[in-house]
Amino acid sequence: MLRPRRFKEIQHAFWIMMLAFAPSTVVFCVFQFSITNDAVTLMCRLDRTAITGHDFTPLFNYYISWVAHVLISLGVSLTAAQNAFRNTSVPKIRAMKRFRLMGFLVALFFVFLADAVHTKLAVLTHERLFAVLSAEQALSPLFRQDFVPLSTRPTGFSFFVVSGIAVALWATATIVLCASKFLAEFQQRKGEATPTDRIAAFTEALEALRSHFLALSLVLVTSTLGTVAYLRIPLGFLGPAERGNFKLVSDAVGLIWGVMFSLTLVFLSIYPFIVLRKSFNALEMDSRGAKGEILRRWLRKNQDLLHVPANLQVVLSMLSPAAVAMLANLASR
């Protein structure tokens, strides 16, 4: 698995995955080094006497969004896996499955590592909320900790948080694998002699990538909704004086995650776009020959195929996680 050039599918998947998780790394680093420890302490400071409410509605909303997110993520993963492993040799299927598992475990490991070392974004996302929820007597069985700090010991409620992150990462890894397979098949077919077959291969690859990006955007939109609902759970247990400040920080953190998900979608599409752009340029070069009349007619008709107006639906789907987080922020004011 350390030799991605063994199969073209693995090589494509490696670069797509590297680019897809680059924005998350940058956001974590910027947030970690641009926010002071004192600022994080002030945002997390909360007296236990402030926990005076008993409204479980935000918790129920989170459970509903969690169920929707998990079901959609698993459905997208299963559908994409069928496309990725269909009409593929057994050795290649094994290599692709191992690569998907490796990418999933590496990403999940870094999520756990960021939480274990108490990065500032992890503190504002998890520890800040768990401190409030564990103080609610009705929820204390879900947050029991015996002689071990809460941030390093899994609790009953941790299952929902971890599983929500895990299914999103699994769906992302599966979509990356599926996109890499279509790119590899497209590169195998683009050398075919007839212009009609080359046009068909290009169109099929572009439509397949569009559909998979739209499916992944649906997963990350539900993940954003679940994250926003999760960050607002403590609002039902705080008094009126503390609820306002807590909500402002929660909405800001939710917007950070929404923007991060949108950036993941944008960067995930960069490598496939480069491959398709190179093929489109090759079609333009071939159309200048004496026998390129079919290519010339098709290029004149579809010259904007890789431009933003022709892919507006895909572009909007990439921005939808950030838009959902922003709308949720504005709608609750």
Q: Which domain holds residue 87?
A: 7-331
Quote the pLDDT of residue 173: 92
Quote the pLDDT of residue 228: 92
Instruction: Give the integer Cα–Cα distance in Å for 302 and 294.
Output: 12
14 within a domain of the structure (yes/no): yes
User: Structural domain tally of the chain?
Assistant: 1
Quote the pLDDT of residue 165: 93
163 within a domain of the structure (yes/no): yes
The four Cα atoms 129, 131, 136, 142 give a dihedral, to 10 degrees, of 80
By the 10 Å C-beta count (0-12 exposed, 13-18 middle, 19+ buried), 213 is classed as: buried
Quote the pLDDT of residue 150: 42
Distances (CA, A) of 17 to 23, 52, 235, 245, 264: 11, 45, 36, 37, 10
203 within a domain of the structure (yes/no): yes
Q: Poorest-confidence range of 37-46, 71-80, 108-117? A: 37-46
The two tokens of residue 309 are 């107006």
108 within a domain of the structure (yes/no): yes
pLDDT in tens, 110-142: 988 888 888 888 888 888 888 888 777 787 777
Measured in whole angstroms, the distance separating CA 230 from the mean position of its chain's CA atoms is 17
1 within a domain of the structure (yes/no): no
291 within a domain of the structure (yes/no): yes
Quote the pLDDT of residue 67: 95
274 within a domain of the structure (yes/no): yes
pLDDT at 103 over 80: yes
- What is the pLDDT averaged over residues 304-319? 66
2 within a domain of the structure (yes/no): no
The two tokens of residue 83 are 């496309």
**Looking at residue 124, what DSSP letter applies?**
I
Handedness of CA 192, 195, 196, 202 (dihedral sign): positive
pLDDT at 149 over 50: no
**Looking at residue 118, what DSSP letter applies?**
T
3 state DSSP class of 285: helix
| Rg over CA atoms, the chain | 23
pLDDT at 293 over 50: yes
**Looking at residue 238, what DSSP letter applies?**
B
Q: Which residue, 177, 176, 172, 203, is CA-closest to 190?
A: 203
Quote the pLDDT of residue 154: 65
